[in-house]
Structure 1
């Protein structure tokens, strides 16, 4: 992973990617901030216009309510109905009819969601709408709003109540407007006018202003909240008290608009005194929140990320295309470092990389030619050395073999003598006369059999040799006399002092290779003896040739490469196993 991160390709991509991300991020932030600033300015300006329109809507409502209450206060018909007690039934019915005809002429008719109740000082009531009062007049006289209207006969009292006075409004929060009925300016009050509207219905007068990012509050003459699009403001809380404090600050500073940063967001406050009243309207706008809702940042980020990804992919492909030849060259050079000198690279890429690749190929070709020449020299020297060892038949071996034949003849065992002489002749012919370096496995096994016949004649039949060669292995080509040293070594060292035993030779094809195993059940060796066996040649007088185990290992590496050789597995008292593997090579 560390090596990959240190490559030229990775560094270029990292630098380019970092630059693109930084540039994209910076431009996106600048664009968003500029857009946000322009949006906030336009948003505040547009909301101020809507706020002014809302002010006019609410003003028109209170103007009409004021006109209704004022007209009722100066009406003799109303006064007569509320103060007269001795009515005949027909006369009272006529008076009620006249009174309703009069009320129909007032602006109350424009407000179908308003409820009008006339309340006399003695508890007499008249409900103008098609609904029923849920309490009698005596109880209604003890209502907080009614008492307040009686205490302030010249004022239009506006108050928020949790429930109305009729069966239609009793379960809903309402806004109650109350004013004393008096024709002499409040000196003699004969009743109370009660106008009731559901607080939820009243909100339609400022629906154009309130949104998920805008809030509005209406405060009465006592700075009590009578309506808001957020119900939590209708209850006394810490948030409500904070708003009252802001209103006082703005009125004290004689400003109508103010911006404050709260919890990392800008909140704009607008205060407006309703015309011709002492009611206050407070608007709150959240331009940052509105900006977040209008601008879909997830979409913007997704599009930006998509475009950035496309650019990065294009740059990635271009950079990879330019650096791939260089990367291939590095991979080939790594192979050369591991000893593989055939790692030529295709000349491609930019001019600089092409020149570098051409020079590398030339250098590699010259190096390969030099090494091939040196290998040929070394191979010739080694072949001469092996051939010389093969030709150097141990004189003592010849003397002792002939002496054994003589002894057989002296004993009169002509058949055995002929068998041994024939085996000895074949062995000498294949060793000295045959100039081939490679023979078939079948021929090598025949040489081993001749060698075993001679050894068993000289030393007896205490050591038995068994051959297990599969038919598909017989025509495989192997170096001449490659197996004999191991069988010879087993005869002399695995079974000392006439000990009986068996030498087994197995040959089979495995994964495209010829695998030969020479196994004995002799005394075995320790690791130190195995290392000694591989380090030096044996040089014993009784050996057939001067080829030792170490010569076989060197010879296989010279012929087949460093991945080939011999494997010796041995343990004291359990025997020895020699494994040799040869590439598949049949006689043509």
Structure 2
């Protein structure tokens, strides 16, 4: 039993209701996309803000200790104390006044040149004093006029550790009188990098050795932190996905990293989903109520279609119609526009005929590429038969390969290695002809070796290099280089021949740009014209030359490893 047919109004109402699912689905996707993007923005802003906070605090600590180190190292009280061992209480007072005002506290040492710790804020410990004197003081002594600022890890009594050292020589009468050292406590450095709304913070030196961190999962081999940062700023750490922000304090050679994990809060997505579902249900009932009133308005779509058809009957081929109702009339309008496009395509067949003529021109240009040196080779062969039979045999073999390749019908493009083998055979024959007066080299990127190129691409350029290169000199060197650059294959054929003066070079360039070449110089023009027809503007031949230096011909085509046909 067939289902009863809906009348026109009911069909429109039914389709109108069905199409409401599309905006509801789009609204759901937009809200979901907004949630994901917004969470990423919040995560990146939170991480970057924490990094700036830590960077600023660390900069302040570094700056304060640098200034205090320079001040104390040049203080007359400190110099007098080293010399007389008197009034040490004032030196200690200055240190504690400074130290109590710092976010990161430190251990303070003054050491004379014989290794005696004449002042120290830490309890006396032979092992620690020996380590400081043997490891740190020599590095200060190497450059006494410059401060030593470095990472080191020293255990002090009561399980307190220092991780960063500021040190400088104390100079009196242009001689080293002693050494001043501040060593910053690790626990205070860790307090410094605990920032609200940030999970992990790491401070490293320029070698990525960790100075301080609030999470040991960041420590790699040799206490290094070497994250691999993806293009979106995320890293993987201990099977967790973290967003990473990095900043540098250049003059301190310190790196500041802040990391926050990428949350996967399912409750947020569920709440948005429930919101979308509730909103969709309300929209459904609202649209259902309005569908009956709006269905009558769709008759306007019929009027638009009838008007467009009448315009088309009058020969107005651009009488397109726009209907955006989301129902069958929009489909009809789209189909009508498609039909009109096809009619216009049929009327543009003249453009296709011009394309056919262009292909024929390409074939004609391609057919002009053939070896011009065959008569010289035969003359060389005639002498070789008498003088050196093995050389004559080699000439015959190479010449046969050249002729076989030049007359073979392998399509519009060939593998680059085949065309270069042809060029190599050509140059071998020329080298036999000119003996030691001709030398050449090939430099080809490995990636370029797999390219497809038009057949006999470089033949005419090599011929020109030899033809004009020997006009004013006895010896000639030709360099052939190929590389892939920005999805293009670029060849540079360079010779050290006589070159061209600026006027002649300008004439050659004008010939290449002329669409109708009536000069007898067709070699480079044919190559350039052929490549422009095949690949369009932006490809072809470019000539650079300097009189007395040589000529460089640059040839550019699209890099393609797939099959292509003219």
Query: What TM-score results when the alignment is normalised by the length of structure 1?
Result: 0.37
Of structures 1 and 2, the one with the larger relative CO (CA 8 A, separation 6+) is 2
Larger radius of gyration: 1
Query: What TM-score results when the alignment is normalised by the length of structure 2?
Result: 0.39
